[in-house]
Amino acid sequence: MSRLALAPMEGLADDVLRDVLTRAGAYDWCVTEFVRVSATVLPRSSFMRICPELGNASRTRAGTPVRIQLLGSDPDLLAANAAGLARLAPAGIDLNFGCPVPLVNRNRGGAALLDDPELLRRIAETVRQSVPAEIPVTAKMRLGIEDAARALDCARALEAGGVQELVVHARTRDDGYRPPARWDCVAPLREALRIPVIANGEVWTVADWRAIRAATGCADVMLGRGAVADPLLSRRIRAGEEGTETEADWEIVAGLIADFWAQVRRKVLPGQAPGRLKQWLVLMRRIYPQAETLFRALRELRRANAVDDVLRQKLPRSAFQT
């Protein structure tokens, strides 16, 4: 049976969106935004801030296991932080070798490490040795920096270091998020490794999910921005449904929007909340024309109270029923 995972998405998929998306559709696990490890052993509060689900047995309200992602380049420091995190009993610890952000890369984090397979192996090995065997240690990588020439070396190094699963985002760092994803480059990694390889990149529809599995040979797929654009995508995949989104779908999504907004209002300052909602709608309008209409109505608003009023006017009444 194919597994579905919800990707870590820095600056987008925080605990609120993870909560909403994992209740909208069934995921086998999800991964937090990265915790940057750069100079010290972080306190418990740093992990709890990025993953409040640790207070719920490392699960979302829907029961989806949440793995915490670490980003850094110092094997010993990463291992020390992983050991501290392990005391909070996370559902898993994931290592970030995929972030393409220039600021992160200039500080030797994320995808910038893909020029040094031996360093990847040492990071994986020291982290794995620092964490109890019952806590999975996994990794997510891109195909490389400029090209995919060393992708297999990096993947083998991570396997040798002890990671138990590897997610491969089928783009290089320099590809950013530009389509198309290089699904064909994942297949040789999946064929060469003994551990599960999970395919990731440019899956927006059920047809894309079928295509990435066919191109890579991977049984399992991680959904990223496609799951944000269509919160019902994982549900459609599970049901084998393909086709145009319906008005009934929008009613479900509208309820998710109302719930998301209520949670964001509680979490952040009123002046910050509108931007969070608009950020989600920008992606969602790719799938739902109703999201485009809602985004246009909210685009110029800066006050949370004004957003409250528009949502009451634009969303179906059923969206506010609990």
Which active-site residues does the annotation give?
A: 99
Provide the CB-side half-sphere exposure for 262 (13 A, CA): 13
In single-letter form, the type of residue at position 276 comes to R
Report d(CA 273, CA 307) in Å as an integer.
9
Listed in sequence order, the DSSP H helices in the chain are 15-24, 44-50, 75-86, 102-106, 117-130, 151-161, 187-192, 206-216, 225-229, 233-239, 247-267, 273-284, 289-298, 304-314
Q: Cβ(43)–Cβ(36) under 8 Å?
A: no
DSSP state of 152: H
DSSP annotation string for 29-83 = EEEEEEEE-SSSPPPHHHHHHH-GGGGGTTB-TT--BEEEEEE-S-HHHHHHHHH
Q: What are phi and psi of 294, to 5 degrees?
A: -65, -40
Residues with Cβ within 8 Å of residue 257, at least 6 apart in sequence: 277, 280, 281, 294, 311, 315, 319
DSSP, res 322: -
Task: Print burial letters for 118-141: b (CB count within 10 Å at least 16), e (below 16).
Answer: ebbbbbbbbbbebbeeebbbbbbb
For the chain, the maximum distance between any two Cα atoms, rounded to a whole number of angstroms, is: 57
Element (H, E) at 166: strand 166-169
Do residues 31 and 67 make contact, with C-beta atoms less than 8 angstroms apart? Answer: yes
Rounding to the nearest 10 degrees, give the CA dihedral for residues 179, 28, 194, 137.
100
